[in-house]
A and B are shown apart, each in its own frame.
Chain A
């Protein structure tokens, strides 16, 4: 037994094996925690059947340890991923394991616990889970504000907008940095620092803001280092049923067009399907008409809205959890339309990137409010165009810039700490973006510094509420809540242990534009994410590094076996007086000191 422990603690050939920490140690991993519940339950595992275990709930996680097999840790679920908690069965329900709790998670799984029917045994568990999974409904702080973890790097320092724009060569003759939104008075969902055309005065900007939904005026996201074409993002123009026009907006777009002298037209990509854009006129929105914007060309990219995406992902969950729909796997997958949506998003981003890179025309991207589809398109196009964003820190900056600072409504889309699981504002837009990044990393295995684990970690902490990174809807709200002072950044965790997230095959290439193939033939379901709870999938090792770890673990097991045999043989020899005294007695101490 001591031999085994020695081996388990040993680091194998310089690889830190996934830490099997002591349970208490694991609990205290986070600064502030207290155990709220410690009770016996039956976990109804959809793969292995009912497992008797002890559940521990802290203010951050739920743990389940088996009471049967080596008290193995079976579940480790941050309360933040919980989207819904339901009671199943009643005190009089019949049938085995019919009384308990059913928990729906945001990360593609459900958890089911059965409890004893006597004495309202589930009541305390239900109440504590509800309070701490949905703190907002109980006037409690989100866990990130309680977390006292310390890291040796500060992730909040990763993104500095001035530095990032300077890296892009800004400001220059045509573009200036403006502090007009310093106190978020121009647009409360935009960052305080914006890049706008040199020739547009602050007064112009204010007038343009009146004509753009939620004042989200066109501002620069990225500039091409050589041909100086730009990607500009904004929200839809407030055209309305009457077809209103705004001279300032028209002039402003023309100023943007003129910052790049190479081509006569500005290209506008409206991310929505044509019909949706037209329908938006009824609620005061719309799109740029040919008559009003002579020097612009408008294209629709046919990407559907947040509700369509939410329903699509729901269907994906239906076919992969708990059991994979086996008999008609491909046609079931097709009927979820998930990959089709991925294809449309990627296709749109490719068009943006291609226009800027080869078309030599500046591009303006918007959808309705410019914080969902727009963020997907600009960030993916930037990822294709600029190799900097394909490094670990570059990607963090990209997410921080195009998503977090430009007001992707993380709080509404994810519902951090909120109990309204059926809220129509929830939607997996950011997950879809990460899926697109994964598709790209599959097609260009050497182009990204990060690995699959990096993307999965980001998604896990999108829900976990352990870090402040994805909290709130926009920069102004984050500033009010002093998020950077009171919480830890996800990038602190990642950057303090970068090796774990590195792609061994990464080769840095400057100025290479990546054009992924966005055809259904080349897109795949991200099995390692969507089906990761299925133990049958876990056995697969598509990731070479993980596979290598597993192979090493198997080898280690073999070594343990061999060493035990050796020890047995040695002790047998030792007890046998007839053996020559030289070799075994010399070997034994050696073997023992080794462990």
Chain B
């Protein structure tokens, strides 16, 4: 139920010093005692932290304690985690909202986690919360006890009733300090070592080279360039990018100097049926002087020439014409008509940044406001404008996809930086057009290629979720908006996506706080500097374990070779209840229903042997 925040114990710390002899002894013990193998999900260790609790109630806890205490103490910005932990331990009761029974036991703060170990008579196991997932914390004391309300980044609200005023305040301060640490390399993914996964696995699932192989099978007009080998041309691009064959690396470098952040136009998707391409970039730096760049113009000319003779192009600018014009004052701007023959500019203003974050905050507030009279719910929902943003995103993606499929045109998408709404449009357009991107691996590849490697600044955008009281800086729920749009697609085309709501929810959670390294940092360059690939586990290997599949896959999936054109009419778009009302509704019916659909499908599979998903969606005789 807690999904990934409650993962099973199966690993041990491996920060460098941890390999010392005396520790391995203890880890060996952990393994021998069966703790690492036999614990049901719900038990976890936080090996990297210093946990000072002295009288654990179960032998399991005792073991944990010894492992934790023996472990070296990683530092956070020169300070040890232990210095941030005021009080390690207190008696507490945890309320997890409707549907889940309260838990009572010993509460303990460690470097990365909040642990609650239930009393001896309790049947449930350790409860564990990644501190990184705490978005806001509120404390209240009365008499000789206190209450801490934790609002998590996955929109859960937890309440802890703690014995002792001092303990409450100390624990609150500890959580506050530890949950807002900004250092990447002391974050939990660098210490998380789940059993059954090997470091380095799955990091090479979806490199640009892999996608290039597919493009190369379809057309000869594109090549894989390593002009960005050392991230000097564009710090937010990956090392390898797909560019027109006719354009050499020098020209690329010059075009990069003409684009904000060096994000020159590169291939996002090749649509084989129409022979057209989807490109993305950042805005050109035309500035007030209306500068031009021959190489940049040549690049876009080569794109059209490579598609087919006489091909046209559309530049989809995700800003209003007005905003694009104004950007010239600050050095940006937009492509001049005369400079790019064959290309036509279209403006589709999309909300981004602060207003988007505010819309998210308002929506979550409305969803969590259970006291307020519900007569005004629909107008309040409308007032949040979230569904309007969903509509904007989907209709702009439809426009781009339509341009390719129906007009046979090449499409270049950009806004200003080209790292937010641009990616939203290019990734959604691919989902609409490309059946492969609607498969389980195809979608993971899409997220990896079009969001993570494409330089969406996850670290900045997802620093806080909707509850934080901190002054918003760079936060924006662009990725969540993408997931919501995908959910709308899945609702409108219930058989055409191989993955289900479970995967989208998991991606949302992990983007904001995760034991895996996949969503760390803002770009490939930063990930390289932090050695994310070699020192953390990839989310994809975590998700692709067989035991996760039932939660993540869509049992009704059948390959749909057609484009799926979503309706963006207001009555076709719904609030994503599974996410926004996830913790306030009883989860039972929908989860039970999901489980039953699986049963039906797998039963049919057993009895019929072949083509299970096709028959499952038909009425039964």
Instruction: Check if A and B associate.
Output: yes
Q: Do residues A504 and B570 form an inter-chain contact, with CB atoms below 8 A?
A: no
Q: Give the residues in chain A near B575, CB-CB below 8 Å.
A: 521
Is B600 part of the binding interface, using a Cβ–Cβ cutoff of 8 Å?
yes
Q: Give the residues in chain A near B378, CB-CB below 8 Å.
A: 330-331, 333-334, 339, 520
Is B173 part of the binding interface, using a Cβ–Cβ cutoff of 8 Å?
no
Besides A330-B387, A521-B577, 8 new A-B residue pairs in contact (Cβ under 8 A), listed by A number:
A331-B378, A444-B589, A502-B619, A502-B620, A521-B377, A544-B617, A547-B494, A547-B495
Q: Give the residues in chain B near A340, CB-CB below 8 Å.
A: 375
Q: Give bound CA distance, A340 to B560, whole Å.
A: 38
Question: Can you give 23 contacting A-B residue pairs, CB < 8 Å?
Answer: A15-B618, A326-B569, A328-B382, A329-B570, A334-B376, A445-B590, A446-B593, A446-B597, A499-B619, A504-B617, A505-B597, A505-B600, A520-B374, A521-B585, A522-B585, A524-B574, A537-B572, A540-B572, A542-B494, A545-B618, A545-B619, A548-B558, A551-B560
B377's contact among A451, A520, A537, A544, by CB below 8 Å, is which?
A: A520
Is A519 part of the binding interface, using a Cβ–Cβ cutoff of 8 Å?
yes
Q: Which residue of B lies closest to A499 (CB)?
A: B619
Minimum CB–CB distance from A456 to chain B (whole Å) comes to: 15
* Most B Cβ at <10 Å: residue of A331, A499, A524: A331
Q: Give the residues in chain A near B586, CB-CB below 8 Å.
A: 517
Q: Give bound CA distance, A324 to B174, whole Å.
A: 53
Question: Given A330-B382, A537-B571, A551–B495 Cβ distance below 8 Å?
Answer: yes
Is A201 part of the binding interface, using a Cβ–Cβ cutoff of 8 Å?
no
Minimum CB–CB distance from A331 to chain B (whole Å) comes to: 4
Q: Give the residues in chain B near A541, CB-CB below 8 Å.
A: 492-494
Is A536 part of the binding interface, using a Cβ–Cβ cutoff of 8 Å?
yes
Q: Give the residues in chain A near B565, CB-CB below 8 Å.
A: 539
Q: Do residues A331 and B492 form an inter-chain contact, with CB atoms below 8 A?
A: no
Q: Give bound CA distance, A504 to B562, whole Å.
A: 24
Q: Give bound CA distance, A320 to B570, whole Å.
A: 11
Minimum CB–CB distance from A315 to chain B (whole Å) comes to: 13
Q: Give the residues in chain B near A324, CB-CB below 8 Å.
A: 569-571
Is A424 part of the binding interface, using a Cβ–Cβ cutoff of 8 Å?
no
Q: Give bound CA distance, A443 to B577, whole Å.
A: 11
Q: Which residue of B lies closest to A527 (CB)?
A: B571
* Most A Cβ at <10 Å: residue of B376, B491, B569: B569
Q: Do residues A537 and B374 form an inter-chain contact, with CB atoms below 8 A?
A: no
Is A500 part of the binding interface, using a Cβ–Cβ cutoff of 8 Å?
yes
Q: Which residue of A lies closest to B379 (CB)?
A: A331
Q: Do residues A329 and B618 form an inter-chain contact, with CB atoms below 8 A?
A: no
Q: Give bound CA distance, A505 to B601, whole Å.
A: 9
Minimum CB–CB distance from A39 to chain B (whole Å) comes to: 36
- Chain B residues 599 to 621 lying within 8 A of chain A, measured CB to CB, are 599-600, 614, 616-621
Q: Do residues A330 and B567 form an inter-chain contact, with CB atoms below 8 A?
A: no
Q: Do residues B570 and A326 form an inter-chain contact, with CB atoms below 8 A?
A: yes
Q: Give bound CA distance, A376 to B86, whole Å.
A: 59
Q: Give bound CA distance, A448 to B599, whole Å.
A: 16
- Chain A residues 414 to 451 lying within 8 A of chain B, measured CB to CB, are 443-446, 451
Q: Do residues A531 and B376 form an inter-chain contact, with CB atoms below 8 A?
A: no
Q: Which residue of B lies closest to A444 (CB)?
A: B589
Q: Do residues A548 and B618 form an inter-chain contact, with CB atoms below 8 A?
A: yes
- Chain B residues 340 to 363 lying within 8 A of chain A, measured CB to CB, are none
Q: Give the residues in chain B near A521, CB-CB below 8 Å.
A: 367, 374, 377, 575, 577, 581, 585
Q: Which residue of B lies closest to A540 (CB)?
A: B567
Q: Which residues of B contact A (CB under 8 A)?
A: 367, 374-379, 381-382, 387, 491-495, 556, 558, 560, 562, 565, 567, 569-572, 574-575, 577, 581, 585-586, 589-590, 592-593, 596-597, 599-600, 614, 616-621
Q: Determine chain B's interface SS by DSSP, over half rule.
A: helix
Q: Give bound CA distance, A426 to B593, whole Å.
A: 38
Question: Given A334-B377, A504-B600, A544-B494, A551–B558 Cβ distance below 8 Å?
Answer: yes
Q: Give bound CA distance, A247 to B376, whole Å.
A: 45
Q: Give bound CA distance, A542 to B617, whole Å.
A: 12
Q: Give the residues in chain A near B581, CB-CB below 8 Å.
A: 521-522
Interface size class on chain A is: 35 or more
Question: Given A331-B378, A540-B567, A547-B493, A499–B572 Cβ distance below 8 Å?
Answer: no
Is A457 part of the binding interface, using a Cβ–Cβ cutoff of 8 Å?
no
Minimum CB–CB distance from B157 to chain A (whole Å) comes to: 16
Is A525 part of the binding interface, using a Cβ–Cβ cutoff of 8 Å?
yes
Q: Give the residues in chain A near B571, CB-CB below 8 Å.
A: 320, 324, 329, 525, 527, 531, 537
Question: Given A331-B379, A527-B572, A537–B567 Cβ distance below 8 Å?
Answer: yes
Q: Which residue of A lies closest to B565 (CB)?
A: A539
Q: Do residues A542 and B492 form an inter-chain contact, with CB atoms below 8 A?
A: yes
Q: Give bound CA distance, A343 to B373, whole Å.
A: 13
Q: Give bound CA distance, A547 to B600, whole Å.
A: 19
- Chain A residues 480 to 533 lying within 8 A of chain B, measured CB to CB, are 499-500, 502-505, 507, 517, 519-522, 524-525, 527, 531
Q: Give bound CA distance, A328 to B558, whole Å.
A: 36
Is A554 part of the binding interface, using a Cβ–Cβ cutoff of 8 Å?
yes
Question: Given A333-B378, A545-B617, A507–B585 Cβ distance below 8 Å?
Answer: no
Q: Give bound CA distance, A316 to B584, whole Å.
A: 29
Minimum CB–CB distance from A345 to chain B (whole Å) comes to: 15
Q: Give the residues in chain B near A502, CB-CB below 8 Å.
A: 619-620
Q: Give bound CA distance, A322 to B599, whole Å.
A: 42
Q: Give the residues in chain B near A328, CB-CB below 8 Å.
A: 382
Q: Give bound CA distance, A32 to B620, whole Å.
A: 33
Q: Give the residues in chain A near B574, CB-CB below 8 Å.
A: 524
Q: Which residue of B lies closest to A330 (CB)?
A: B382
Q: Give bound CA distance, A540 to B491, whole Å.
A: 10
Q: Give the residues in chain B near A333, CB-CB below 8 Å.
A: 378
Q: Give the residues in chain B near A446, CB-CB below 8 Å.
A: 592-593, 596-597
Q: Which residue of B lies closest to A502 (CB)?
A: B619
Q: Do residues A504 and B596 form an inter-chain contact, with CB atoms below 8 A?
A: no
- Chain A residues 452 to 469 lying within 8 A of chain B, measured CB to CB, are none
Q: Give bound CA distance, A531 to B569, whole Å.
A: 12
Q: Give the residues in chain A near B616, CB-CB below 8 Å.
A: 504
Q: Give bound CA distance, A547 to B620, whole Å.
A: 16
Q: Give bound CA distance, A421 to B382, whole Å.
A: 35
Q: Give the residues in chain A near B387, CB-CB below 8 Å.
A: 330
Q: Do residues A499 and B621 form an inter-chain contact, with CB atoms below 8 A?
A: yes
Q: Do residues B600 and A507 form an inter-chain contact, with CB atoms below 8 A?
A: yes
Nearest 8 A/B pairs, CB to CB: A329-B570, A334-B378, A330-B382, A331-B379, A520-B377, A520-B374, A330-B378, A445-B593
